[in-house]
Structure 1
């Protein structure tokens, strides 16, 4: 059966590389495998559990929240405020780009959406100020990876739904790794501009003062505080917390005349389309993962790894596999394909599914910034046009050591992944 599972994995990757939608590739492989193994009737309970899970409502809510926050301007104003507060600092615009990505992610939940949006704002600002294009592009690319770990990350929601882990636990578990990653990125920027001051000239002062900047940015911290504080205190479920944030975002946007019927309709339309795509991947992924469990391939790989390899090396090899997957599939699909192996490896060493999810999500995001086809870098290069992907990859290389150091710390010290029971 292990050979059958391996053949199914290869088939999914090959079909996706041939431009078949990932949901259809997973669906075909999962249904065919279950039918051939005579296990099709076993799919009803897992599918029913997925489709009736309360946390499934997070998918449309988070997507609509991200679109509304974007159209209302809240998702990008963290960057604008940070640029004002850090003016006069060498490298301040790069730090503002990273902080802006964190603020965008805290409302939109999407790394690629963050990279596409912030690159159009932050990268031209840095280039006009005379920044090295490598630093300008790489700071947005690296900042975009924070969207994977900060709530309401869509990758954390997908992991929770497919692994049976409470999404609230996943949201809280990603906070400390996100902070460590953010600190590492800021340290690289400061080192870079100290070592090469010409890479980040200090631009002229901006017209807006720090007080006005803080007044403009206040909705984003309030929304994040409600989301994290409500979940951490146990007063709100993730669905309730996101719904409240969505209601407040709509209210703020309408009161400040930042939302119109046209933008609301555009946000709703985009959210519905994105929701349909994610739901199809979830259903197809559930079928495919059930078939993989029946084949026993993930458990066999984990047993072999536990018997022959140290745990850090086993997850390093999983990371290499994620990089290879990144050549053919998007982040959510990459996570679905790697999920059974991450869970099986964690079980083999007696570790929790929450920890495995955070490590795997971090691996997926690192895979998306590595050459030759790092999707986040390609998105930024396409959105900006004036910075070649090769220059962004070169800049990312300077950040990579500390980002891998954070990943190594998460693997070697699982307690860094804070879990709440």
Structure 2
């Protein structure tokens, strides 16, 4: 069988499995492994030899996946996740939101603006978009609803603000992008900082304008004194220290991304223990959740490694690259087409899966167009952010739906208990 045809069939089967809600790691791994068997077991113009295909595929699966997840750079992912969970369980998230709320709540849409600021600060210690949306949803949505904010605003702000976790360093997506494209992870993390902060500022500006035009949309709560504002700053010192440890070391060139992650995780644990805000149970929960999240991410990485090996052998990446390059469009036109593709894929797929699925095809195209891969990495992550809140699905919206549903259930139980006691 022609290898390019085999690659196209494999890609279609993979997309069909995703549409059937087969977990991405299993879909990519299964198609990659079977595809390797087919590629070497049914060689074009030669007799069928399934045993040869099996031996080659088994040899590949016994080495490449382990090589992928044992990468030194990849160690940064569980370390950054651990830093985020330590910060969450120690209450640093609550402190950050309280500070932002104290300084911004007196402005039009102040609570919503404070939520975006809180998302940006939590993103600086979490590295995950969905974790940021879930954590801030538990804190900010009840406060905004209590202040009579529009329900769409209260939930939409958290869903959009949560996407900052994918761009503001440390970003798990940036780390994996750097590994799969063989780019400097440190440079990628630094490149995402300004775009992430600019995105947060534009969100806040939009909220301010909308709330000024329609004050009923976001009523102002009671005013906060300057003493309360100054006092709230004490809640930011822990996050600022962690940010300086991680990003300061990277910008100064003192540490690598992996070393910065290790320092950040250790720093978060020490700060939490010194402030006596991390119990033994919290330590256990932080480690267990880190293991669960890391296992999920690494499973996708292993599946992607198998699928990428199959796709590379078939040569379909070169066909796609040639298709885009030979189109009668300027480079910016092709880039716009790729941007639309990422936004559409983001409406129904996990951003990590989208990135690992498309990089083998897209990277040669971007390089042939003359674009810098560090720059394109920031663009790709930004596009994935947009997809995470774009209808008809949008993963951050689903995460927030679960959080808000839990909040409503708790409120109903509390209301029922209060009526019963009466």
* Alignment TM-score > 0.5, same fold: yes
Per the alignment, residue 274 of structure 1 pairs with 293
Gaps of at least 5 residues in structure 1 are: 389-421
1:353 aligned to 2:373?
yes
Q: What is the CA–CA distance in structure 2 between the aligned matches of 1:52 and 1:138, rounded to whole Å?
A: 38
Q: Return the match for 1:302 from 321, 343, 346.
A: 321
Which of the two has higher C-alpha Rg? 2
Per the alignment, residue 185 of structure 1 pairs with 203
Per the alignment, residue 393 of structure 1 pairs with none
Output one character per residue of 1:217-239: Cα deviation in whole Å (capped at 9) or x when no partner.
21111211221110111101112
Q: What is the CA–CA distance in structure 2 between the aligned matches of 1:284 and 1:378, rounded to whole Å?
A: 24
Moved more, 204-213 or 194-203: 204-213
How far apart are residue 35 of structure 1 and its match? 2.2
Per the alignment, residue 13 of structure 1 pairs with 15
Alignment length, in residue pairs?
388
Output one character per residue of 1:140-166: Cα deviation in whole Å (capped at 9) or x when no partner.
111111111111111111212222222
Moved more, 43-52 or 333-342: 43-52
Decide whether the 8 Å contact of 1:230 with 1:236 is kept in 2.
Answer: yes
1:316 aligned to 2:336?
yes
How far apart are residue 127 of structure 1 and its match? 1.6
Q: What is the CA–CA distance in structure 2 between the aligned matches of 1:144 and 1:257, rounded to whole Å?
A: 28
Q: What is the CA–CA distance in structure 1 between the aligned matches of 2:196 and 2:407, rounded to whole Å?
A: 27
- TM-score, length-normalised on structure 1? 0.86
Q: What is the CA–CA distance in structure 2 between the aligned matches of 1:267 and 1:42, rounded to whole Å?
A: 34
Per the alignment, residue 100 of structure 1 pairs with 118
Q: What is the CA–CA distance in structure 2 between the aligned matches of 1:217 and 1:336, rounded to whole Å?
A: 35
Matches within 5 A, 1:244-255: 244-255=263-274
Q: What is the CA–CA distance in structure 2 between the aligned matches of 1:368 and 1:79, rounded to whole Å?
A: 23
Per the alignment, residue 192 of structure 2 pairs with 174
Q: What is the CA–CA distance in structure 2 between the aligned matches of 1:237 and 1:334, rounded to whole Å?
A: 26
Output one character per residue of 1:98-126: Cα deviation in whole Å (capped at 9) or x when no partner.
11111111111111111111112112211
SS at match of 2:73: helix
Decide whether the 8 Å contact of 2:304 with 2:356 is kept in 1.
Answer: yes
Decide whether the 8 Å contact of 2:346 with 2:386 is kept in 1.
Answer: no
Matches within 5 A, 1:90-129: 90-129=108-147
Moved more, 38-47 or 59-68: 38-47
Cα RMSD after superposing both structures: 2.2
Output one character per residue of 1:264-302: Cα deviation in whole Å (capped at 9) or x when no partner.
111111111221221121122122112222222233222
Decide whether the 8 Å contact of 1:76 with 1:104 is kept in 2.
Answer: no
Report the CA distance shift for 1:180/1:312 in structure 2 as closer, same or farther (over 3 A).
farther
Per the alignment, residue 355 of structure 2 pairs with 335
Output one character per residue of 1:193-229: Cα deviation in whole Å (capped at 9) or x when no partner.
1222221111013587112211012111121122111
Moved more, 6-15 or 110-119: 6-15
Q: Return the match for 1:259 from 278, 298, 311.
A: 278
Report the CA distance shift for 1:357/1:295 in structure 2 as closer, same or farther (over 3 A).
farther
Decide whether the 8 Å contact of 2:125 with 2:239 is kept in 1.
Answer: yes
Report the CA distance shift for 1:343/1:45 in structure 2 as closer, same or farther (over 3 A).
farther
Decide whether the 8 Å contact of 2:348 with 2:394 is kept in 1.
Answer: no
Report the CA distance shift for 1:328/1:88 in structure 2 as closer, same or farther (over 3 A).
closer
Q: What is the CA–CA distance in structure 2 between the aligned matches of 1:177 and 1:372, rounded to whole Å?
A: 26
How far apart are residue 328 of structure 1 and its match? 4.2
- TM-score, length-normalised on structure 2? 0.86
How far apart are residue 172 of structure 1 and its match? 1.0
Q: What is the CA–CA distance in structure 2 between the aligned matches of 1:323 and 1:292, rounded to whole Å?
A: 23
Decide whether the 8 Å contact of 1:107 with 1:220 is kept in 2.
Answer: yes
Q: What is the CA–CA distance in structure 2 between the aligned matches of 1:221 and 1:10, rounded to whole Å?
A: 47
Q: What is the CA–CA distance in structure 2 between the aligned matches of 1:197 and 1:361, rounded to whole Å?
A: 34
